[in-house]
Amino acid sequence: MLTATAPRSASFDAAAFEEFLATRKEPAWVSDLRRGAFETYRELLATELDPEEWKRVDIRAFRAEKFAIPAASQTSAAFGTLLADRAEFAGVVSHVDGACSRATLDEKWAGKGVLFGNLSDLVRDHGDVLRPHLLTTAVKPDTDRFAAWHAAFWTGGTVLYVPRNVQITEPLYSLIGLAADGAADLSHTLIILEEGASATLLEETSSASTTATGLHVGAVELLLAPRSNLRYVQLQNWNDKVWHFAHQAGRVQADASLQWTVGALGAKLAHIHQDVFLDGKGAAAEVNGVTFATEKQLISYYTQQTHNAPNTRSDLLYKDVVRDKARCIWRGMIKVAKDAQKTDGYQRNDSLLLSDDCRVDAIPGLEIEADDVRCTHGATCGRVDEEQLFYCMCRGLDRLEAMHMIVEGFFQRVYDRIPVEIVRETLGQAVERKLGIGGE
């Protein structure tokens, strides 16, 4: 049972908010946006969270007062990243405890008008570009208390803006890191592709140590103009002391294409509200998810595919592996508006249980108002077949190696949908680590 009215955190009360604002050097429109969001946050603290989304996510042990946004000056920290050293990137943005530590972009793309850097800097220097998009159409502050909390206290984040018809051929990379014990990160990812633009962004979260507690209250906004194409990958790899809450949304216009891949490996508890809106005729979105929960982790995804225009297509595939006393929750919904004829919507969640005490809740759903559509959904759940293990072990593999082979085969259908080779390799190696193969 969730806590409907959690105690207000001294780290995020009115006095803390005014103190936080005083440290920011931002345009008036940003401050006004924050003030409005903070008032919404205070109102929503006394409002029950949506029971359909939260009734299976137990947050009674969560105490916001144990976390705070660190001071701006931070010592450097080393992170065991999974993606950072695997390719040549057109640009790199890194954040540690909410503060930007690095922001680079290849000159050839900067010369074409591409923006890639820290949100806190770019709202000052390019407010005319960002203002119409930041927390206006994708993630909305009044969705719930976590969205409002983020909108009031966001601490920076990664911005990618690609002008009309510019097609970035190399991937870009973004790191969100937590280092200080008790640090709260409220970073924001904002991607804006103008008409005909194309880009690939690989983003990951990481903890500097295995023992530091942390909190992430994040948001991701993916905004695709007509005929644009975006590949976005987010690999969540916090340590098991981090609480992770996020609102993530993509809005896809006519004939644009979004491929969105998520890997959920870390965190003590993670709950992500993920929306995809197909807003223009011919828009398409493919969502891929790989989740591996162990020990006492709880990883939850609430996904919605909303078709607002005719001849749109969405395809969601999540694969979950659960072990020990861990739990995975997936609640999926395809929504089709009355005018969204010729919709093709698909969602599927498959779960593999590796222990007697783990649990999976998978709940697909459809809400269809149009009468000329093809929408399907499904969910499966099962144990590893002991005969498969025996077969592998008879051919020289030990039990752990056999288990890895079976888990890799289970995830393979998702891997096959990912065109970026380094992402496929990284997910495979991350699975090995979760199984206890290959060391750190």
Only one residue has tokens 């908010």, namely: 17
Are the C-beta atoms of 427 and 263 separated by less than 8 Å? Answer: yes
pLDDT grade for 437, boundaries at 50, 70 and 90: low
Report the pLDDT value the prediction gives residue 102, as an integer from 0 to 100.
93
The count of other CB atoms within 10 Å of the CB of residue 399 is 11
pLDDT grade for 8, boundaries at 50, 70 and 90: very low
Residue partners of 15: CB distance under 8 A and separation at least 6:
none
Which tens digit of pLDDT belongs to each residue from 232-284?
999 999 999 999 999 999 999 999 999 999 999 999 999 999 999 999 999 99
Q: Which of 179, 201, 143 is nearest to 70 (CA)?
A: 179
Percent of the chain having pLDDT more than 70? 96
Report the pLDDT value the prediction gives residue 436, as an integer from 0 to 100.
79
Which tens digit of pLDDT belongs to each residue from 348-359?
999 999 999 999
Mean pLDDT of 372-380: 96
Alpha carbon distance 357, 352 (integer Å)? 13
Maximum mean pLDDT: which of 1-15, 330-344, 386-400: 330-344
H-assigned helices in 45-182 = 51-54, 107-110, 119-125, 127-130, 145-153
Phi/psi at 39 (5° precision): -65, -40
Average pLDDT, the chain: 93
Report the pLDDT value the prediction gives residue 309, as an integer from 0 to 100.
98
pLDDT grade for 6, boundaries at 50, 70 and 90: very low
Report the pLDDT value the prediction gives residue 7, as an integer from 0 to 100.
36
pLDDT grade for 10, boundaries at 50, 70 and 90: low
Report the pLDDT value the prediction gives residue 72, as an integer from 0 to 100.
63
Alpha carbon distance 383, 320 (integer Å)? 12
| C-alpha distances out from residue 426 to 5, 259, 419, Å | 40, 18, 13
The count of other CB atoms within 10 Å of the CB of residue 59 is 17
Which tens digit of pLDDT belongs to each residue from 118-172?
999 999 999 999 999 999 999 999 999 999 999 999 999 999 999 999 999 999 9
pLDDT grade for 396, boundaries at 50, 70 and 90: confident
Report the pLDDT value the prediction gives residue 4, as an integer from 0 to 100.
33
Which tens digit of pLDDT belongs to each residue from 193-246?
999 999 999 999 999 999 999 999 999 999 999 999 999 999 999 999 999 999
The count of other CB atoms within 10 Å of the CB of residue 13 is 14
Task: Categorise residue 82: left if φ over 0, alpha if ψ from -120 to 50, beta otherwise.
Answer: alpha
Report the pLDDT value the prediction gives residue 3, as an integer from 0 to 100.
35
Token reading at 207? 């903890």
pLDDT at 9 over 70: no
pLDDT at 29 over 90: yes
Work out the end-to-end distance of the chain between its first and last CA atoms, rounded to an integer number of angstroms. Answer: 36
Which tens digit of pLDDT belongs to each residue from 178-194?
999 999 999 999 999 99
Are the C-beta atoms of 295 and 322 separated by less than 8 Å? Answer: no
Which tens digit of pLDDT belongs to each residue from 281-313?
999 999 999 999 999 999 999 999 999 999 999
Q: Which of 359, 369, 295 is nearest to 330 (CA)?
A: 359
pTM above 0.85, yes or no: yes
